[in-house]
Amino acid sequence: MNSACRSAFGRRRGFSSGRGGYLRRVTGNSVLLALVVATALGFDFTNGFHDTGNAMATSIATGALPPRIAVAVSSFLNLVGAFLSFSVAATIAGGLVQTHLVTLTVVFAGLAGGILWNLATWYLGLPSSSSHALIGGVVGATLAAAGGHAVQWHGLTAKVILPAVLSPVIAGLVATVGTAAVYRITRGVPKELRGRGFRIGQVGSASMVSLAHGTNDAQKTMGVITLALIADGSLGAHAKAPAWVIVSCALAISLGTYAGGWRVIRTLGKGLVEIEAPQGMAAESASASVILLSSSFGYSLSTTHVATGSILGSGTGKKGAGVRWSVAGRMAVAWVLTLPAAGLVGAMAYATAHGIGGTAGTSTIFVVLAACATGIYLASRRTPVTASNVNSQWSGSVAPGRTVPAGANL
Amino acid sequence: MNSWINLDALWKIVVIGLLAGAGLPALFAIGLRALAPRARAAGASGTSGTEAEPQPGPALRGPLIAGLCFATVLAAMGWGIYSIVHNS
C-alpha cells in the first residue's frame, strides 16, 4: 500500500510510517472537525480576496468604479451568488481521488496547502487559481496518505489540467475578437461618450463574473465542509450541505472579497495590459460567457485562468496596446506550479499531522498554518498595496514605487 | 482522445462563447454608436439648411437601434443569471 512516493516522503521527513491505521475514519472527533471547518472557512476567505481581481480589476483600472465601491459590489454579488444554487455536491475531490480514502486529516492538510499557496501568490501579486490550489492540496495530501493509486490521474488530467490549458486560450480568443470588434464599431464615436458608455457596460459584465464566482467557488468550500461532515459521520453519505454551512461559506467568501486582494487586482488591472474601458468590457464579457458556458457543460473552470486569458486577449485585440508578456510569463509559471506546490504543502502537512498523530498533530499544523499566514501578512505590510495606490503607475513590480504619490491616477 | 477532451462541448463553448462573449460587447458598441450624435453629417447639412428640417426618421432611428441593442444585452445577462441558477 505504501507507494514509493509516500515512503520516500515519510523517510525524508523522518516519520515512521509503520502504523497501520492511518486510513481509519476518525469518528466523532469534534476538535478535529472544528479545525477542519475553521480552516475551510479560512480557505474560502483567501479564495475571496485572491479572486476579487478576476471580476473587478479592469473596472478599477479604468475608473469605472472607485476601488472600494468595486470590492463592495463584488462582495455583495459573491454573497448573492453563493445562495443562487443549492445543488452542492460533496465532491470537490470526486473523480480526482478515491474519495473513500479521504479522511478528515487529508481534507485538513489539503486545505492547508491551498491556503498557503493562495497567500504566497497573493503576496507576489500573482493571480493563480484558488481551485487548483485546493485540488493540489487535497491530491498531495491523498498521495501522502494512501499513495499513487488513490489518485485518479486520468480524471485529474481530463477535468483539471486540460481545461486549465484550454480555458485561458479560449477566453483570450473571445476577448481578442470582442475587443477588435468593439474598437472597430466605435471608431467614429466621440471618446468621451465611448468611455462613459463602456464603463457602464464594464460594471454590468464584471457583476456577472462576480455572481458566477460566488456560485462556483463558495460551493467548492461548501462541498469540502460537507465532505468533512460526512467523513466524520455527522452527516449521511448523500446528505446536502446544511444551512449553516451554506451561510458561513457565503459570508466567508464575501468578506474575503471585500478585503480586496489589492496586490492581485493591481497586477491584473495595471500590470498585464494598460486597460481602457472598451477592453475591460470585452474582457469581462468574454470571462462571464466562457465561465457560464463551461459550467453549463459540466466543467468547473478556474475563474482566474479565464479572467487572465481574457485580459491578455483584450490587449492583443487592440492595436498598439502593450501586453507585458514578462508579467504574463510569471503568471504562467505560477499556474504550472500551483498543483505541485500546493500538493507538496498538502503532503507535508499530512505527513506532519499524521506523524505527530491525533488532535495534537492537527493542532500543530493549524498553529503552523496560522503563523505562516500571519508572517505573510506582516511581510505584505512592508510593501502595502491598498485601495489608494492600487492604480499607481506600473513600475515593474507589485508594490508601487515610493516616489509615486498614492492614488496619482485616481 | 475523447475520454480526455470532450470535443463536442469544446467547439460549442468556443462558438457560443464567441457569439455571447464577443457578440454582446459588439452589440453594445453598435448601440453606443447609434446614440452618438451624428456630428459631422448633421453639422454639414445643418449649416446649409438653417430652416431646420425635422427629419423624424433618422432622429428617432438612433435611440431606437440603441434601445434594441441594450435590451438584447440585458436579456442576455438575464439568461446568464438564469443559467447560473439552473446549471451550477
Q: Are the C-beta atoms of A189 and A102 separated by less than 8 Å?
A: no
The three three-digit cell numbers of residue A321, written as one number? 496596446
Instruction: Judge: A295–B88 Cβ closer than 8 Å, yes or no.
Output: yes
* Longest CA span, chain B: 72
Which residue of A157, A185, A278 is in closest CB contact with B30?
A: A185
pLDDT for A396 equals 73
Chain A residues with CB-CB distance to B87 below 8 A? 292, 295-296
Counting runs of H as helices and runs of E as strands, what totals does chain A give?
Answer: 14, 0
Mean pLDDT lowest among A120-124, A297-301, A310-314: A297-301
What are the phi and psi torsion angles at A208 (to 5°)?
-60, -40
d(CA B16, CA A293): 8
Listed by start position, the domains of chain B span 7-87
Gyration radius from chain B CA atoms: 21
CA angle centred on A245, ends A223 and A48, rounded to 5°? 70
Does residue A310 carry a pLDDT above 90? yes
**Most confident by average pLDDT, A152-156, A201-205, B40-44:** A201-205
Does residue A4 carry a pLDDT above 50? no
Q: How far is CA A256 from CA A49, A78, A292, in A?
A: 5, 10, 22
**Most confident by average pLDDT, A24-28, A213-217, B18-22:** B18-22
Name the interface residues of B facing A (CB cutoff 8 Å).
3-6, 9-10, 12-14, 16-18, 20-26, 28-33, 35-37, 39, 73, 77, 80-81, 83-85, 87-88
d(CA A104, CA A358): 11
For the stretch A316-360, pLDDT in tens is 888 877 788 888 888 889 999 999 999 999 999 999 998 888 788
Half-sphere exposure (CA, 13 Å, Cβ side) for B48? 5
Shortest CA distance from B40: residue in chain A: A188
pLDDT for A409 equals 40
Residues of A numbered 347-406 whose beta carbons fall under 8 angstroms of chain B's beta carbons: which are they? none
Which residue of A177, A182, A292 is in closest CB contact with B80?
A: A292
pLDDT for A282 equals 93
Residues of A numbered 65-84 whose beta carbons fall under 8 angstroms of chain B's beta carbons: which are they? 81, 84
Q: Are the C-beta atoms of A121 and A50 separated by less than 8 Å?
A: yes
For the stretch B55-65, pLDDT in tens is 445 677 888 88
pLDDT for A69 equals 92
Q: What spatial distance separates the first Cα and last Cα of chain A, rounded to whole Å?
A: 60
d(CA A330, CA A124): 10
d(CA A371, CA A115): 12
Cell 520516500 found at: A8
Q: List Cβ neighbours of A316 (8 Å cut-off, separation of 6 or more).
A: A172, A176, A179, A323
Which parts of chain B register pLDDT below 50?
1, 39-56
Q: Are the C-beta atoms of A179 and A282 separated by less than 8 Å?
A: yes
Which residue of A178, A186, A211 is in closest CB contact with B21?
A: A178
d(CA A368, CA A372): 6
Task: Please list the alpha-helical segments (H only) found in A157-298.
Answer: 162-185, 191-232, 243-259, 262-266, 277-296
**ipTM for the whole predicted complex goes beyond 0.85:** no
pLDDT for B38 equals 65
Buried b (16+ CB within 10 A) or exposed e, A7-33: eebbeeeebebeeeebeeebeebeebb
Closest chain B C-alpha to A95 CA, distance in angstroms: 13
Cβ neighbours of B7 (radius 10 Å): 10
Nearest alpha carbon to residue A398 among A125, A50, A53, A117: A125
Instruction: Judge: A292–B84 Cβ closer than 8 Å, yes or no.
Output: yes
Shortest CA distance from A188: residue in chain B: B33
Which residue of B29, B73, B85 is in closest CB contact with A186?
A: B29
Task: Please list the alpha-helical segments (H only) found in B18-55.
Answer: 23-35, 39-48
Mean pLDDT lowest among A105-114, A174-183, A295-304: A295-304
Nearest alpha carbon to residue A175 among A319, A327, A316: A316
Mean pLDDT of A223-236: 81
Mean pLDDT of A9-18: 33
Q: List Cβ neighbours of A340 (8 Å cut-off, separation of 6 or more).
A: A136, A140
pLDDT for B41 equals 44
Cβ neighbours of A383 (radius 10 Å): 14
* Helix, strand, coil % over all residues of chain B, rounded to 5: 80, 0, 20
d(CA A62, CA A77): 20
The mean pLDDT value of chain A amounts to 83
The fraction of chain A above a pLDDT of 90, given in percent, is: 35
Query: For the purposes of burial, counting CB atoms within 10 Å of the CB of B55, is it exposed (0-12), middle (13-18) or buried (19 or more)?
Result: exposed
Which residue of A170, A188, A287 is in closest CB contact with B33?
A: A188
Q: Does A292 touch chain B (CB under 8 A)?
A: yes
pLDDT for A104 equals 86
Does residue A20 carry a pLDDT above 90? no
Mean pLDDT of A271-289: 91
pLDDT for A361 equals 87
What residue type is A5 in one-letter code?
Answer: C
Does residue A13 carry a pLDDT above 80? no
